[in-house]
Structure 1
Amino acid sequence: MNPLLEDIRHTPLLWLLVLVPIVLAAQLLWPEAHTLLFLLSIASIVPLAALLSLATESVAARTGDLIGGLLNATLGNLTELLIALTALRAGQYVLVKASIVGAIITNSLFMLGASFLIGGLRYHVQDYNRSTARLQSGLLFLATIAILIPSVLAEADGAANAAFTHSLSVSISVLLIAVYGLGLLFSLKTHRELFASTEHRESDEKPWPLSLALGTLAAVTILVALVSEVFVESVQQAAVSLGITPAFVGIIVVALVGGAAEMVSAFAAARKNKLDLSVGIALGSAVQIALFVAPVLVLASYLIGPTPMDLQFWRGAVAMMLIASVTASLVTSNGRSAWFVGALIVTVYAIFGITLYLLPPQT
């Protein structure tokens, strides 16, 4: 435990971990203090995200950036999946779909763009394996097309059309999960040599023991899930008190808080010139949400939801996902990045944020 305790002692940000038991206790003592719980939960997730970043870097140092990025994306998305399952059980399908859209555009635009920007401010030009980026952006575009089809075809009214939409959504969900599995097989097994990292390591920091890193990852993931649940329960009422629109909360705020752990890891990797890890976390997380989490939620709705959920999204959401996937594909096609590229990507995300804040999409 010495490396973990040493990092906590020498990192002031990690001192905020004391807020984790405070927010959990506050939920029990003052469950109606929604604004207080909202602010405390955000402040608690930040140090947990930093701790998750340290553990992930230690794992990535031994497994490689590709598996490290996949592991980070999986643990980060596990929290979002648990939150979505809670909303799914309550029948809050609008919130579930908003969180899916928000996670996809936040990861593929804000996280990717900010990583390019942060790394580019320290290094003149950064290189990364474009094969990995091309595969991930291609899978993301495929998932967007799969979501686009039932959303477009479901414009007609009638019970028959509703039944068709649900059947189509289930079929597409099974297909997307299969494609995600094939993508992992392709990148981690049969053609793994194509996705080797572009090494530019300059840090001499000694990584944590693997058992400590994995144990920390598991523990932090559980804590993030608990604190995130407090956040979700309080965010709607707090948004009303703070004057924030529901669309902005569902697609922007929830996605930023839910992806905080992955963002800290991606940004830290970019500053250390490990852009392969940053790209792997950002695009890998977006792909996992689109190809795995969203289909799993559709299938799970038949078991735990009051009614089945489909893949029909509102037009504005589909447009944002399509623009995000095309943007990610274009900017990662050459395997090189500079700070201005990151600034442009973040600008696209900012346009979405301003639009949602001023004019929420119709559901």
Structure 2
Amino acid sequence: MLWLLVAVPLVFAAAILIPEAHTTLFILSVLAIVPLAGLLSHATESVAAKTGDAAGGLLNATLGNLTELVIALAALRAGEYTLVKSSIAGAIVTNTLFMLGASFFLGGLKYHFQEFNRASARLQAGLLFLATVGLLMPSAVAEMDSTSAAAVTQKLSLGLAVMLIVGYGLGLLFSLKTHREIFAAAEHAHNDEMPWPIGLALGTLAGVTVLVALVSEIFVESVQKAAEAFGMTPAFVGFIVVALVGGAAEMASAFSGARKNRLDLSVGIALGSASQIALFVAPVLVLLSYVIGPSPMDLQFAPGVVVMVLLATITAMFVTNSGRSAWFVGVLVLMVYLIFAITLYVLPPRMQ
């Protein structure tokens, strides 16, 4: 699929020459992200071969989330806080349900059963549950019938942002330093493919991540208008379309790892990315809104959004509890995601 790399210069040229052709830019940006995701996948696997699946999954999640962070920062400067929150929640749900479920399904089609480190999955799901509680509190406070509710929500969001970042940092310290032996990867099938040299892999990761971020910006600018042409609602675009395309690079690595019986890498990318967005990216955006935003942003999400994030977290905790997976487990997780997608697709715009 590397021949699709021709779409990368084409999308940049089209963005300059025909900036109003939103549907064309939308299609070209999607075609450009696909081969870039493939390169990122192979580079990540090469790094993971040297560092281990736990660190490799963390590295892929971090670089993959740079795309969401760049998109969110652009929206933050413009004061588009609704778009910022929608992209955050959508990325959490998509990574937790779609990426994890599809990894289980694709790996299960090739292997009868697959095993992964249950302790690592439990840690990531626990961090995600912590973030969900953090998102729930401002939404609950906002429902108070009080003129001071907005001020309380803002102060609470600021305190929670700092607390969540600290919790994420301590989680990294626990898993990568003080108790790293608990999170060793499960046994995997032998991989005959030769990994890239570590220098080439890291250089590819850095370069491709920048290109993905630039293409994703063009995608986000064109997706709203293109969505109208395709009959998609704003909620569906923010939660489903933007999240799927923004996470394409991570998904390529997760799916490839599952097909090679390296499910620790897949689970680490899926849940690690979701917990990183919830515990690090979202709080950092709250803090940065005091510096680059027109006004401070809070962590108040719509009640329906919080419910989806909570249900996604509970689903992840449920299916990773045993440390084993099969293709039907993936189907169950994907069906939960499809229920959310169908609901958002048919929901009238005035109710979103």
Settle same-fold status: TM greater than 0.5. yes
AA aligned opposite 1:339: W
What is the rounded CA distance, in whole Å, between the counterparts of 1:249 and 1:130 in structure 2? 33
What is the Cα deviation at residue 79 of structure 1?
Answer: 0.8
Partner of residue 282 from structure 2, selected from 260, 276, 294: 294
Q: Which runs of 4+ in 1 moved over 3 A?
A: 360-363
What is the rounded CA distance, in whole Å, between the counterparts of 2:154 and 2:137 in structure 1? 12
Q: Hey, what does 1:326 align to over in structure 2? A: 314
Q: Does 1:190 align with 2:178?
A: yes
Q: Hey, what does 1:200 align to over in structure 2? A: 188
Partner of residue 121 from structure 2, selected from 133, 138, 144: 133
Q: Hey, what does 1:270 align to over in structure 2? A: 258
Q: Hey, what does 1:257 align to over in structure 2? A: 245
Alignment of 1:94-133 (within 5 A): 94-133=82-121
Given that 2:141 and 2:152 are in contact with CA atoms closer than 8 Å, whether structure 1 keeps it comes out as no
AA aligned opposite 2:279: L
Partner of residue 23 from structure 2, selected from 35, 48, 61: 35
For 2:148, what is the secondary structure of its paired residue? helix
Aligned residue pairs total 351
Q: Hey, what does 2:8 align to over in structure 1? A: 20
What is the Cα deviation at residue 224 of structure 1?
Answer: 0.3
Given that 2:47 and 2:198 are in contact with CA atoms closer than 8 Å, whether structure 1 keeps it comes out as yes
Q: Does 1:312 align with 2:300?
A: yes
Given that 2:128 and 2:274 are in contact with CA atoms closer than 8 Å, whether structure 1 keeps it comes out as yes
Q: Hey, what does 1:283 align to over in structure 2? A: 271
For 1:99, what is the secondary structure of its paired residue? helix
Q: Hey, what does 1:226 align to over in structure 2? A: 214
CA RMSD across the alignment? 1.0
What is the rounded CA distance, in whole Å, between the counterparts of 2:295 and 2:348 in structure 1? 25
- CA separation of 1:333/1:307 partners in 2, compared to 1, >3 Å: closer, same or farther? same
AA aligned opposite 2:10: I
Given that 1:136 and 1:283 are in contact with CA atoms closer than 8 Å, whether structure 2 keeps it comes out as yes
What is the Cα deviation at residue 157 of structure 1?
Answer: 5.0
AA aligned opposite 2:115: D
- Ranges in structure 1 where 5+ consecutive residues have no aligned partner: 1-12
What is the rounded CA distance, in whole Å, between the counterparts of 1:123 and 1:291 in structure 2? 33
Given that 1:23 and 1:41 are in contact with CA atoms closer than 8 Å, whether structure 2 keeps it comes out as yes
How many percent of aligned residue pairs carry the same amino acid?
Answer: 71
Given that 2:115 and 2:324 are in contact with CA atoms closer than 8 Å, whether structure 1 keeps it comes out as yes
What is the rounded CA distance, in whole Å, between the counterparts of 1:61 and 1:198 in structure 2? 14
Given that 1:173 and 1:296 are in contact with CA atoms closer than 8 Å, whether structure 2 keeps it comes out as yes
Partner of residue 87 from structure 1, selected from 70, 75, 93: 75
Partner of residue 68 from structure 1, selected from 38, 56, 72: 56
Partner of residue 45 from structure 1, selected from 33, 52, 58: 33
For 1:91, what is the secondary structure of its paired residue? coil
Q: Does 1:173 align with 2:173?
A: no
Question: TM-score when scaled to structure 1?
Answer: 0.95
Q: Hey, what does 1:245 align to over in structure 2? A: 233
Question: TM-score when scaled to structure 2?
Answer: 0.98
What is the Cα deviation at residue 241 of structure 1?
Answer: 1.6
AA aligned opposite 2:15: Q
Which moved further from structure 2: 323-332 or 239-248? Answer: 239-248
AA aligned opposite 1:101: A
AA aligned opposite 2:3: W
AA aligned opposite 1:96: V
What is the Cα deviation at residue 152 of structure 1?
Answer: 1.0
- Ranges in structure 2 where 5+ consecutive residues have no aligned partner: none
AA aligned opposite 2:324: R
What is the rounded CA distance, in whole Å, between the counterparts of 1:360 and 1:322 in structure 2? 23
Given that 2:216 and 2:246 are in contact with CA atoms closer than 8 Å, whether structure 1 keeps it comes out as yes
Given that 1:170 and 1:298 are in contact with CA atoms closer than 8 Å, whether structure 2 keeps it comes out as yes
Which moved further from structure 2: 148-157 or 244-253? Answer: 148-157
What is the Cα deviation at residue 159 of structure 1?
Answer: 4.5
Given that 1:127 and 1:336 are in contact with CA atoms closer than 8 Å, whether structure 2 keeps it comes out as yes
- CA separation of 1:247/1:324 partners in 2, compared to 1, >3 Å: closer, same or farther? same
Given that 1:247 and 1:360 are in contact with CA atoms closer than 8 Å, whether structure 2 keeps it comes out as no
Q: Hey, what does 1:9 align to over in structure 2? A: none
What is the rounded CA distance, in whole Å, between the counterparts of 1:61 and 1:144 in structure 2? 32
Q: Hey, what does 2:199 align to over in structure 1? A: 211
